[in-house]
Amino acid sequence: MAPILEVKHLRKEYRTVVAVDDISFQIPTGVCFGLLGPNGAGKTTTIEMIEGITRPTGGEIFYKGKTRNREFSLQAGIQFQSTSIMEKLKAREILELFHGLYPKTLPMDELIELCDLEQLLEQDATKLSGGQKQRLMFALALINDPEIIFLDEPTSGLDPQARHNLWKLIERIKGRGKNVLLTTHYMEEAEILCDHLIIIDHGRIISEGSPKALLKQHFGYFYVCIDKTDMHIDIHQFEPGIKERNDHYEIQSQSVEDTLQRLIHEGVQLNSLRVRQPTLEDLFLKLTGHSLRD
């Protein structure tokens, strides 16, 4: 079966920078596909080239094996990182407006329930809170019952509760078998939502796979963390596996039992001991030498 979306050697140059530098990937049908990377990595440029907003400098984009045509605009649902809508309109009127722009649509009641908009319908759409507005924009992306949904930093700038609400929404539409392409710089979001990830930095793909496979491939260890105040011994005997973080040391450990025994043997206080799994954040740091949030 042809991938729902395929991108070959995509490239975008601006006058002074190369925003996207030879990116290729395939999105198989029925997955949530994530582009993870820090701000300025080229995620938005990539997704907007696929959406047809930005003209690529080079490369090819195929939807269901063909170059994008009118079928694509009918079957794609799109949410931008930030959008305004017309002013002075109620949320209901915004929904009705976009409902009227497509020949085939999701029934309005279903959409309102799916995105939990019942309470917001009579409110001025420009005066909704960040999370409410994102739910309305999410509803607009779903209004044509799309086959593929593009979400550009869907939870950026939201408070934790609103973020969790939106994650639930995205899980719900994944449950309906929709294809999702989302960009994010939250590794937690990528880990929870995405079946398959590409990690982007400086316009290039630096790694690709499912979150689990990526972590398994790059990390064969855990992190044992101890506050600096508890660590009275010469830390260099743990070299090369120890790293200094803000207020604690982080020991890379193949076997947590062995590491703990050594620490106990050295008489280190274990009150502040934490053991954690490597995350995509660690992976990113390992691959690029800088953090996702830089």
Partner 1 sequence: MIDRIVNFWRVVYVLMMARNKEFYRDRGVMIWSFLFPFLIVAAIGFAFSGGEQTVFTVGVYVPAAQADPDIPLLRESFIKHVTYDDFDQALDRLRNFQVDLLLSAEQPDYYWMNEGSPTSRAMERLFLAENGRAAMQRQTVTGQEIRYVDWVIPGVLGMNLMFGCLFGIGYVIVRYRKNGVLKRIQVTPVTPLQFLTAQVLSRLLVMVVVSVIIYAGCDLFLNFVMRGSYLDLIIVALLGIVAMIAFALIIASRTASEELANGLLNLATFPMLLLSEVWFSLDEAPNWLIFISQCLPLTHAVQAAREIMLNGAGLGSLMYHVWVLLAMSIVFLAAASVLFRWNEA
Binding residues for partner 1 (CB under 8 A): 51-53, 70, 73-74, 76, 78, 80, 82-89, 93, 96-98, 100-103, 140, 144
- Least gap, CB of 29 to partner 1 (angstroms): 21
Give the residue with the Cβ less far from partner 1, 21 or 51. Answer: 51
Question: Rounded to whole angstroms, how far apart are CA atoms 68 and 50?
Answer: 9
b/e map 216-240, b = 16+ CB within 10 Å: eeebeebbbbbeeebbeeebeebee
Please say which residue, 86 or 264, places its beta carbon nearer to partner 1: 86
Query: What minimum distance in Å lies between the beta carbon of 143 and partner 1?
Result: 9
Instruction: Give 73 or 210: the residue with its C-beta nearer to partner 1.
Output: 73
Q: How far is the CB of 89 from partner 1 (least distance, A)?
A: 6
What the block records as the tokens of 76 is 């794609």
Compare residues 98 and 219 and give the one whose CB is closer to partner 1: 98
Minimum CB separation of residue 92 from partner 1 in Å reads: 12
Pairing of strands 76-79, 148-152: parallel
Query: Contacts for 170-174 with beta carbons within 8 Å, 24 or more apart?
Result: 170/32, 172/114, 173/114, 173/142, 173/149, 174/32
Tell me the closest approach of the beta carbon of residue 148 to partner 1, in angstroms.
12
Q: Give kind and range of the element (H or E) at residue 197.
A: strand 196-201
Number of helices followed by number of strands (H, E) in the chain: 10, 14
Cα dihedral 150, 26, 192, 21 in deg (nearest 10): -80
Residue closer to partner 1, measured from CB, 89 or 128: 89
Beta bridge partners of 198: 35, 208
* DSSP element (H, E) containing 209: strand 204-209
Please report how close the Cβ of residue 137 comes to partner 1 at its closest, in angstroms.
Answer: 9
* Residue 35 near residue 48 (C-beta atoms within 8 A): no
Nearer to partner 1, 101 or 270 (CB): 101
Q: Please say which residue, 78 or 187, places its beta carbon nearer to partner 1.
A: 78
Contact in structure between 22 and 204 (CB atoms under 8 Å):
yes
Residue 200 phi/psi, 5° resolution? -120, 140
Between 67 and 84, name the residue whose CB sits nearer to partner 1. Answer: 84
**Start-to-end C-alpha separation, the chain:** 39
Position 147, amino acid: E
